A and B are shown apart, each in its own frame.
Chain A
Amino acid sequence: MNTRDMHLKVQAYLDNELSPAEARKVGTWISSNPEGRDLFNELKETREILMQNEPVLKLPESRDFFWSKIEREIAAAERLPAEPEPRPWWTRLLAPLAGTVALFALLFSLVDRGSGHMDLSQSHDAAPLHQLEGAPDVSTITFRSEAEGVTVVWLSTQ
């Protein structure tokens, strides 16, 4: 064991942080080693001086002033709306699932309309989005899944 480790053991012995077996070993070393004994005494004296003489400080504000600030803070905190209850863990699974469902729904919708292929650029559905949105017989539903980084726009021309 090096000197540093032994010094730390002396301190741990002083603080009653050693197992009984280790404490016996370190205690023997301290009693037979003058340097160990001196170190033990220095640490012990420093510890006792500190424990018995903690600096006493006074709050530099009057009772009424300090309390008025606390009271105000408490009142302000109680005026804040309560935080919403955390959502159950399983609801986090719904977001990606909903995204997938919406995507499939869109695909089925396109197939079902008899276009026979998915190339929107070739079909009459390929009109620019802003035109469709402006058309009176077109409604759009947008779904955004942050988890999947996907936005699905559902167009209906009924």
Chain B
Amino acid sequence: MTSKLNYSTAKDDELVKAAQKGDMAAFEELVARHRDKIYARAFSMLRNEDEAVDLSQEAWVKGWQRLNQFQGDASFATWMTRIVINLCLDQLRKNKRIKSESIDEMNEETGGVERQMPILNPNPTEGLEREELRQRIDKALAQLSYEHRTVLVLHEFEELEYKLIAKRMGCSIGTVMSRLFYARRKMAALLAGLKREELEK
């Protein structure tokens, strides 16, 4: 019985089942549990706090509306993350950030500076607290272009295969490989650069 469900201790799938029957309190509990993760994914792609809040909210509304489509093949959090990623990709296309970052695109096509970069051993974990390292990564991610950041987020954080990333981003697998390669090399350079800056302080 839904009325006997203890929301705070119930498992996600129990809350989902209750929410699918129209129990909004169960859905509220799911929102409370996963709102940070959904927001974080939106922010990692958009790099804009207001847009990330709005889109994560929209994702939750869509989640409620499509709840009956959730079959439990993946976890509820993964399913919600897919929704917010799709919304972010739509939003980024609308914002036409791809066009405004034409210099990055050009570099990607012709082989930007990262191709000529010497191979690095960033080793930025050395002597760093985890939180400090995360902040450094966040700072480096903010400096990537939309395409590089998105492909990195989808591959390293969401652990999607090349073909799935290509499908989501509407590009070829070759483009995904190329973007991921340059994104990783840029990140290595940025992390090494940030480390050098801190050492020089």
Contacts and interface: CB of A to CB of B under 8 A. Distances in A.
A98 to B, nearest CB: 37
Summarize A's interface: helix, strand, loop or mixed. Answer: helix
B106 interface: no
Considering residues A41, A61, A67, which has the most beta carbons from chain B within 10 angstroms of its beta carbon? A67
B187 A57 contact: no
Q: Looking at chain A, what size class is its interface with the partner chain?
A: 35 or more
Interface stretch (B5-13, B73-81, B95-103, B132-140): B132-140
Contacts of B65: 74, 77
A46 B184 contact: yes
Contacts of A51: 156-157, 159
A8 B178 contact: yes
Contact of B133 (A4, A53, A57): A53
B134 A54 contact: yes
B32 interface: yes
Contacts of A73: 57-58, 61
Contact of A11 (B121, B137, B177): B177
A148 interface: no
A42 interface: yes
B172 to A, nearest CB: 12
Considering residues A7, A59, A66, which has the most beta carbons from chain B within 10 angstroms of its beta carbon? A59
Nearest to A35: B119
B122 A45 contact: yes
A38 B64 CA distance: 48
B61 A57 contact: no
Contact of A50 (B57, B58, B137): B137
Given A49-B124, A66-B35, A55 B40 contact: yes
Given A8-B181, A12-B177, A50-B187, A59 B53 contact: yes
B184 A66 contact: no
B32 A50 contact: no
B120 A42 contact: yes
B177 A67 contact: no
Contacts of B49: 60
B113 interface: no
A43 B141 CA distance: 16
A45 B39 contact: no
Contact of B177 (A8, A61, A74): A8
A38 B120 CA distance: 8
Contacts of B57: 66, 69-70, 73
B181 A77 contact: no
Nearest to B115: A4
Given A11-B184, A70-B31, A58 B36 contact: yes
Interface string B122-149: 1111000010011101100100000000
Interface of B: 24, 28, 31-32, 35-36, 39-40, 43-44, 49, 53, 56-58, 60-61, 64-65, 111, 115, 119-125, 130, 133-135, 137-138, 141, 152, 155-157, 159, 161-162, 177-178, 180-181, 184-185, 187-188, 191
Chain A to chain B: the 9 pairs with minimum beta-carbon distance, closest first: A55-B138, A57-B40, A59-B39, A50-B156, A38-B119, A73-B61, A46-B188, A55-B134, A46-B184
